[in-house]
Structure 1
Amino acid sequence: MLSENVLDLFRRVLNSDPVTIKRVHDFNGDVHVMDTEVCLVFSLKGLYKFIGASESGSYAGFRKGLYQSDLNQQLQDAGAVIEIFQSTGKIESNLYCLKRLQDT
């Protein structure tokens, strides 16, 4: 399931999994890890491309699936939160940040 793939990625980043962190650093798109803290910064389109969702469905379906999932609750249960990192006023171009709750 899509939200499980995203949640798995987020958990791996939060746990500083070296293979995942390297994949993020090597990715050419709007997904990167802040070097000063464990914070995954991403756009929704960047996340869509990074997890390979484009191979299994449309971007609109990806967004809809994220918004309809309980991802935020699962992240909160795992001690993390997604915040707006940089607002452009448009969902398409906003940058978001996955952070540990104690970092907020």
Structure 2
Amino acid sequence: MTRSELINALMRKNPHLPVKSITLIVNAVFGSIAKSLSEGNRVELRGFGTFSFKTRAPRVGRNPKTGAQVHVAEKSIPFFKTGKELHIRINKDRS
């Protein structure tokens, strides 16, 4: 689901709200999650999951075109872990 599909789904469920308000709400939620992660915090949404980040150590990689060694700096990677309720909901039909 894309951001616009999410906004459209929320519009169908809440026809009394203007599109502009729904768009602002969706952007505020995603913006808050991104800001919190960029500040080094984790975001926990009970029943849904946890957004955090993992740090990858510096390493020596290879340029695939030339084969030359390239030093790759340490970096933080966003990570999502599903909550128990979401995990159960996703897998209930597969049992």
* Both structures adopt the same fold (TM-score exceeding 0.5): no
Q: State the TM-score, normalized to the length of structure 2.
A: 0.29
Q: Which structure: greater helix fraction? A: 1
Structure with more strand by fraction:
2
Structure number with the bigger relative contact order (C-alpha 8 A, sep ≥ 6) is 1
Which has more radius of gyration?
A: 2
